[in-house]
Structure 1
Amino acid sequence: MSEPAPSSPPPSGPSPRPPGTIRLGSIAGADVLVNGSWFVIAALIALLVAPRVEQVEPGLGSLKYVAGFAFAVLLYASVLLHEVSHAYVARRYGHRVSSITLHFLGGMTAVEGEARSAKQEFWIAVVGPITSLAVGGAALASWFVTPDGLLKVGVEGLAGANLLIGVLNLVPALPLDGGRVLKSAVWQVSGNPHRGSLVAGWSGRGLAVLVLGWPFYQQALFGTQPLVVDYLLAVVMAVFLWSGASAAILHARIRSRLPLLVARTLARRAVTVREDTPLAQAVATAQTLRAGSIVTVDAQGRPVGLVNESALLAVPDERRPWMPTSGVARPLEPGLTLPLDISGEELVAAISRRPAEEYLLVAPDGTIHGVLSTVDVDRAFNRRGN
């Protein structure tokens, strides 16, 4: 599966490794990580494969578990190939791929940002299942010419597992790759990527409900009494699908609001005063001009600070005539000046990179337009989301 990550500029150093993971190396600039849960599923695969190994090669003793573990490694190597194909296509479309993580349910490729078209969404998503089906098909073809023994058992398992992975990943439900294929189709027809995510997300929730009932279908359809492990796997898969689909739905709803956030319309009118201006005088000037913010400037008229509203209110009235305005102003550090026309996802990314209470908005010619408060951004976002 591929999973979009929040848009952000490429980091200057290596990305922090998530807790509970082991870094194996990198492929195409992406860290290859193994989650600790993988060792649990690898041990389980070794236990399940061991009887088949014993059947083919009797007398191996404990080495049959080593052979089973080797098959788990081989299987996840093909899962890695599935994920690398996602990463390769994403990079071809100009996206940064931060990591590829193998975990007990398969793998995940973290792609920075969103696809810019339905076509990109389709190909980034569909290439994974296609790769798994190709690996499965190649393994199946080679099975017929592979000599009997452990090698043939490995090829047999590799063929079956990859064909199953390929088919299941094409189910049109998020967070599966097929869900992103469905999203691309809805996006292409409706012109709205967020609607595509909502449709595919709700499809994922429906699939989660169906998976949860699998043990009962198993008994009704095949007359097989479900085991405890069947119930356990059904719950784990249902939770995985439901949580992934719900996250996609929430992500789509949030992103659909972002275009409504426009810095120009949210800006507070600002008044400029010299750094050494008494605070009482600066406040009086702002009240006279009905400005919502105060910007301090140096002797050459260059903006150097933003008056912090909380700090201003904390100064008693009797002290304001004797305190310079710079005493309650935050220095205008890099990242606190934003272009006037910034909006949507770009605005949110800028605020996330340099968290602050206020930002100076400047026009293309360098003139001060006003001050953007994160309180106003949050209020606008929540109001338009209701």
Structure 2
Amino acid sequence: MGEKAAPARREGIPLGRIAGIPVILAYSWFIIAAFTVIAFGPVLRADNPALGVSAYTVAFAYAVLLLISVLVHELAHALTAKLYGWPTEKIVLNLWGGHTQFENFTATPGRSVLVALAGPAANFVLAGGAWMVHDSDSLGSVAGILVNIFMWANFVIGVFNVLPGLPLDGGRIVESAVWKATGSQAKGTVAAGWAGRVIVVALGFWFIARPLLVGESPEFSTLMITVLVAGFLWMGATASIQQGTMRGRLHLVNASGLSRPAVGIPATATVADILRVAPAGIPAVVVCGPDGRPQGVVDASAVAAVPPHAAGLTPVTAVSYALGAGAYVPEWSKGQELIQYLGQLEGQEYAVVDHHGAVTGLLAQDVVVAAITGKSVRPNRYPQGQNR
């Protein structure tokens, strides 16, 4: 009896759907919530002695208001994208704020900027609304504190996110400008990623190096926030540079160009038949089932181990290993289309077929990865067919 598949690990707590978009509260959010209470609770209590221990409750409310601000920010992205027919898979609220995950779509420089800037624009609207009621006499002390915090939080979120570097929303301006000028989104993404790294250096200088140069020590909370934000931005900028670099190499990814020559042979064949079509193990030999579809690959080392007198009696299935289910691709597949297709298939090798379904090549997963990343393929330390 087969083992039960392990249940998928939950990403967080589902909060429901807004405009049909699933919203998930990642478990990591509770870390930033706890940090907010620990860092700002004592400050609120010192500034407002009348609050007493309830200052920590107010600090938690501050964390919730930040969560709401981020949710509105991400919803603005998602709903603006919806206007252009970009499907949104989900919104995740986490330690770093949150992110909107889109499904596949076709973007343009202008639309990319509008979707990106919708988030900060929503925060500026929230800050403006809070500012309008901030000085109202009807607000109590706690409500006044929270409205003030809400106003400044949204203002800071809005300003911070329009800084011109990825992974911040303002980075899309840099990306789109370079994209428009060069015609290459990949170059735009790389440029915006480097701009994001420049922002990290600038933040580190302003909040850490500058005070030290004048003989001052940055506050612990400021230091921790700067380190966390800078680390997040650096990782995001680096990921953007890698993504842009890979996207720029997509034109090199095509099934026919990256595959090694191969021929198909029926599953009823013998080793003798293999030796006739591939006497030296070249080209590769793909075993095809009764319906003509690729189902396995001949192991050249296993063929070499068969004694000559037994070649006509040894079936091809005895010297081959199975391909993953449906592991074959059209020879004209290329670029993002090929990568997405391979991502749905099992195994590490794929037969390549022509318009008539005849086998023309054998494509290895590591060769595709090497084409995308620019890294050379490591020699295979395992015999064909052996589990990695």
Number of the residue aligned with 2:163 = 171
Which of residues 255, 277, 293 is equivalent to 1:303?
Answer: 293
Looking at structure 2, the residues matched to 385 and 89 of structure 1 have their Cα atoms a distance apart, in angstroms, of 41
Q: What is the 5 A alignment of 1:145-184?
A: 145=136, 147-149=138-140, 150-184=142-176
Query: Do 2:24 and 2:93's aligned partners in 1 also have CA atoms closer than 8 Å?
Result: yes
Structure 2 gap segments, 5+ residues each: 1-6, 378-388
Counterparts in 2 of 1:90-239, with a 5 A limit?
A: 90-113=81-104, 116-145=107-136, 147-149=138-140, 150-213=142-205, 214-218=207-211, 225-239=217-231
Q: Does 1:374 align with 2:365?
A: yes
Query: What's the % identity of the aligned pairs?
Result: 31
For the Cα contact (< 8 Å) 2:23–2:90, is it kept in 1?
A: yes
Residues 294-320 of structure 1, C-alpha deviation per residue, up to 9 Å, x if partnerless? 33342xx62352324367458534554
Alignment correspondent of 1:39: 30
SS at match of 1:353: coil
Deviation at 1:127, TM superposition (A): 0.8
Q: Does residue 70 of structure 2 align to residue 79 of structure 1? A: yes
Cα separation, partners in 2 of 1:108 and 1:372, compared to 1, 3 Å: same
Higher relative contact order (CA 8 A, sep 6+): 1
Q: Residue 273 of structure 1 corresponds to which residue in structure 2?
A: 265
Looking at structure 2, the residues matched to 250 and 379 of structure 1 have their Cα atoms a distance apart, in angstroms, of 14
The within-5 A match list for 1:244-255 is 244-255=236-247
CA deviation profile, 1:23-76 (whole Å, cap 9, x unmatched)? 3333344442333342233234335256547766x6443223222212321221
For residues 188 and 290 of structure 1, do their structure 2 counterparts lie closer, same or farther at Cα, with a shift above 3 Å needed?
Answer: same
Q: Structure 2 vs 1, CA of residues 37 and 326 (structure 1 numbering), >3 Å: closer, same or farther? A: closer
Q: Is the 8 Å Cα contact of residues 257 and 385 (structure 1) preserved in structure 2? A: no
Any conservation in 2 of the 1:268–1:293 contact (CA below 8 Å)?
no
The 3 A distance-change label for structure 1 pair 190 and 114 is farther
Cα deviation, 1:129-170, whole Å, max 9, x if unaligned, reads 111111111111222335242222211111111011101100
Give unmatched runs, 5+ long, in structure 1.
1-13
Does structure 2 conserve the Cα–Cα contact (< 8 Å) formed by 1:296 and 1:305? yes
- Counterpart code for 2:314: M
For residue 6 of structure 1, what is the aligned residue in structure 2?
Answer: none
What SS does the corresponding residue of 2:343 show, helix, strand or coil? helix
Shift of 1:115: 5.0
The separation in 1 between residues aligned to 2:117 and 2:190, in whole angstroms, is 19
**Does 2:346 match 1:355?**
yes
Deviations 1:151-194 (A, max 9, x none): 22211111111011101100001111111222112111211111
Give TM-score scaled by structure 2 length. Answer: 0.82
Using the TM superposition, name which of 78-87 and 318-327 deviates more. 318-327
CA distance in 1, matches of 2:286, 2:326: 18
Q: Determine the structure 2 residue equivalent to 1:7.
A: none
Partner of 1:5: none
Aligned equivalents of 2:329, 2:226: Cα separation in 1: 49
Q: TM-score, normalised by structure 1?
A: 0.82
Q: How many residues align?
A: 367
Are positions 1:24 and 2:15 aligned together?
A: yes
The separation in 1 between residues aligned to 2:98 and 2:372, in whole angstroms, is 34
- Give the conservation status (yes or no) of the 8 Å contact 1:50–1:64: yes
Is residue 83–residue 128 contact of structure 1 (8 Å, CA) maintained in 2?
Answer: yes
3-state SS of 2:63 partner = helix
Q: Residues 345 and 314 from structure 1, CA distance in 2 versus in 1: closer, same or farther, beyond 3 angstroms?
A: farther
What amino acid is aligned across from residue 243 of structure 2 in structure 1? H
CA pair 157-375 structure 1, distance change in 2 beyond 3 A: closer
Deviation by residue 1:246-293 (Cα, 9 ceiling, x = unmatched): 111111111211221111223443333332211232232233996333
Between stretches 97-106 and 66-75, larger displacement belongs to: 97-106
